[in-house]
Amino acid sequence: MKGVLDFCLIFLTLHIPGVLSLSTHVAIIYPQDPVLRIGSNLTASCWVHPELGVHASSLFWTLNGQQLPSSFYRVLSATNLSVTLAGLNASKQTSGDNLVCHNHKGHILAGSCLYVGMPPVKPVNLTCWSRNTKDLTCSWAPGGKGETNISTQYKLKYKLRWYGTEKECADYTHTQPYSCSITQDLHLFTPYEIWVEASNQLGWATSDVITLDILDVVTTDPPSGVTVSRVGQLEDQLSVRWEAPPALKDFLFQAKYQIRYRLEDSQDWKVMEDVGNQTSCRLAGLRPGTVYFVQVRCNPVGIYGSRKAGIWSEWSHPTAASTPHSERMMSGSCDSKSSGDSNSTLRRELKQFFGWVRKHAYGCSSMSMKLYDQWRVLMQKSHKVRNQVGSPRG
């Protein structure tokens, strides 16, 4: 991101009719607008025009509006007062610190901006990605502690690896700080060399050079058309469907998807790491009668044969749905003791079978869910029958 040149503005002239013309300075400060390293010492002088009729001993200095102690001053002549600042701290703002010379009435005679900082350190964490192969955006972080305290420019440079000429990225308007987007003359199937140069008035530094092919760093828009619906009356499942990224429909690639979901009253997401390349999935083992929020994201793996891992898209907007209420929860009835004893073995066997099926059918595996659905419906019907038998007749 290009540094923005900040200006320290101070009025340097007074209007004294009959003595000086309107364009004449009544005083000057030397050095003017110096750039110094943190910890440096500075001696500055304020010269006043002899015709002003002001003696240097009557002057005083301020730094950022605060009067400096007179022990810092030295009268060099009738028209020259110096001030010495030792061990300068970093500038409070990149536009500089205001060092001002005043007459005895407090009027400003002259001013100078002090820029106190450090040279840049080698930029780090240079990372690039391409959205749908239409651009190439790179971001980085300043090196060291990240702050030079003075205006510093960052330039993203790049070239084709074998025969390209060096170019500078021009679009620094990306919302992310320290980033730039290359939007023109992109080349596929050709490696790029990319690096960042940082510079200010105290020095310069260059990042490590990275080499990449645009097809290896493609990301895409989040999946669209995400829907979440119930699976009949199965109280612990939801069905999720979505559409493949339309921007890549003409590319040869195999997408990977991830799903994450959470309870309505929770911020803890549970992620299904490997959904595969299908555009539907069934969530199992959910709580009955509960609202869930679901999101999906895409990784366009293997575009035109690329062997890189790919970059995940942003998550889709959350989509909400609720699981059905459990029949057992709604009935409020319970089995008699004798019925519970007689069916304990059957329940244990069904519980084991349920655990086995859910373990093997959990997520979005290629295993058919038909047997699992049949067993769940059978279990619900058996509970309905027991509830009807156990309920008192009117």
**Tens digits of residue pLDDT in 59-96:** 999 999 999 999 999 999 999 999 999 999 999 888 89
**What pLDDT score was predicted for residue 308?**
77
CA 225 from centroid of its chain's CA atoms? 26
CA 378 from centroid of its chain's CA atoms? 50
| Per-residue pLDDT at 332 exceeds 60 | no
* pLDDT tier, 241 (very low <50, low <70, confident <90, very high otherwise): very high
Give percent of the chain above pLDDT 70.
74
| Per-residue pLDDT at 379 exceeds 70 | no
* pLDDT tier, 164 (very low <50, low <70, confident <90, very high otherwise): confident
**What pLDDT score was predicted for residue 344?**
54
* pLDDT tier, 371 (very low <50, low <70, confident <90, very high otherwise): low
> 91, 117 in Cβ contact below 8 A?
yes
Q: 380 versus 274: which is more confidently predicted?
A: 274
Give percent of the chain above pLDDT 90.
50
Q: How many other CB atoms sit within 10 Å of the CB of residue 221?
A: 16
| Per-residue pLDDT at 21 exceeds 80 | no
Fold type of domain 124-216? Immunoglobulin-like (2.60.40)
**What pLDDT score was predicted for residue 277?**
82
The residue extents of the domains of the chain are 27-117, 124-216, 221-327
**What pLDDT score was predicted for residue 335?**
37
pTM to 2 decimal places: 0.67
Nearest in space to 336 (alpha carbons), one of 384, 387, 393: 387
Fold type of domain 221-327? Immunoglobulin-like (2.60.40)
The architecture in CATH of the region 27-117 reads Sandwich (2.60)
DSSP symbol at 171: B
| Per-residue pLDDT at 377 exceeds 70 | no
DSSP 248-313: GTTS--EEEEEEEEEETT----EEEEEEES-SEEEE-SPPTT-EEEEEEEEEEETGGG--S-----
Nearest in space to 60 (alpha carbons), one of 100, 19, 20, 87: 100
**What pLDDT score was predicted for residue 194?**
96
**Lowest mean pLDDT segment, chosen from 11-20, 57-66, 250-259:** 11-20
Could you report the per-residue pLDDT of 114-159, keeping only the tens digit for each?
Answer: 999 999 999 999 999 998 888 999 999 998 877 888 989 999 999 9
Rounded-to-integer distance, Cα 216 and Cα 239, Å: 32
| Per-residue pLDDT at 55 exceeds 90 | yes
Q: What is the mean pLDDT of the chain?
A: 80
Q: List C-alpha distances in Å: 157 to 178, 196, 197, 239.
A: 13, 6, 7, 47
Q: 356 versus 287: which is more confidently predicted?
A: 287
| Per-residue pLDDT at 347 exceeds 50 | yes
> 38, 116 in Cβ contact below 8 A?
yes
Query: Are domains 27-117 and 221-327 of this chain identical in fold?
Result: yes
**What pLDDT score was predicted for residue 77?**
94
* pLDDT tier, 337 (very low <50, low <70, confident <90, very high otherwise): very low
Q: 162 versus 194: which is more confidently predicted?
A: 194
**What pLDDT score was predicted for residue 374?**
57
Rounded-to-integer distance, Cα 189 and Cα 130, Å: 13
* Max avg pLDDT among 8-12, 112-116, 277-281, 340-344: 112-116
| Per-residue pLDDT at 330 exceeds 60 | no
* pLDDT tier, 299 (very low <50, low <70, confident <90, very high otherwise): confident
| Per-residue pLDDT at 338 exceeds 50 | no
**What pLDDT score was predicted for residue 341?**
45
**What pLDDT score was predicted for residue 11?**
36
Residues ≥6 apart with Cβ < 8 Å to 77: 56
